[in-house]
Amino acid sequence: MDEELGARVLSATWALLAEKSLSELTLNEIAAAAGTSRPALYRRWNSVEAIVIDAFLAMVEDEVPTPGITEPALALREYIASLARFLQGRVGRVIAELLGRAQSDEALMAAFHQGFLVPRRNHARELIERGQAAGVFRADLDLDLIIDLYAGPIYFRAFSKHAPLDRDFADGLARQVVETLHPSGGMAD
C-alpha cells in the first residue's frame, strides 16, 4: 500500500470515529471512506483495531502538550490542564475504547504504550526534572508515581464520566500535585 493511500485510510478512519464508536466501525466502511478495498486494507492491517491505533497515533503525534511557560510549577499546571482538555471528546472516547480492546491484545497495548503513553510520560518527566534542577520541586520523589498521581484521576474521569473533566478539576488537581512536589511540602505559588 502506498503512503498516499495509507494516509487516506488513516484520515478516513479518524473521520469515521467522529461519527461512531470503535465497536461500530467496520473494515468495509473504512475501505469505502478511503476509496479502496477491504483486501487492500488487509495488506497492511489485520484488524479494525490495528487501523484505529495507527489513525489515532497519526492524529495525536504532534499533540504532546508543550506549555510555552518556563517557570516549572506553572508549566506543570498548564501541562495537567492540557492533558485534561486533550482527553475530552473524541480523543478520550477513542483511548477508552482502544484500552478496553488492548486488555486482550498485546500488540495493540504495545502500540498504544509506545506511541502514546511513553512520549507524554517522558515529556512530563522532563518538566518535573526541570523543576527539580531549579530547586522548585522535591528531588526525593518517584517520578513515575508522581506522573501516575496526576494522570490517574484525569484518565479515570475521562473514562468513567462520573464527574466533570473541566478546568476547575484540572486546576485543583494541578495545585495538589505542585504542592506535593514543593520542597516544603506545603503551599506553592
What CATH number is attached to the domain comprising 10? Answer: 1.10.10.60
How confident is the model over 60-118, as pLDDT tens digits? 876 656 666 788 999 888 889 888 988 888 888 999 999 999 999 999 999 999 999 99
Does one domain contain both 81 and 135? yes
Evaluate whether residue 78 is within a structural domain: yes
Half-sphere exposure at residue 26, Cβ-oriented, CA atoms within 13 angstroms: 5
Closest to 136 in 3D by CA, of 85, 188, 83: 188
CA distance 26 to 15: 13
Which domain, by its residues, includes 16? 3-51
CA distance 86 to 82: 6
What CATH number is attached to the domain comprising 159? Answer: 1.10.357.10
Does one domain contain both 78 and 121? yes
- The count of structural domains within the chain is 2
Does one domain contain both 124 and 42? no
Evaluate whether residue 189 is within a structural domain: no
- What is the pTM (predicted TM-score) of this model? 0.83
Please identify, among 12, 29, 51, the residue that sits at the C-terminal boundary of a domain. 51
Does one domain contain both 69 and 100? yes
Evaluate whether residue 56 is within a structural domain: no
How confident is the model over 44-55, as pLDDT tens digits? 999 999 999 999
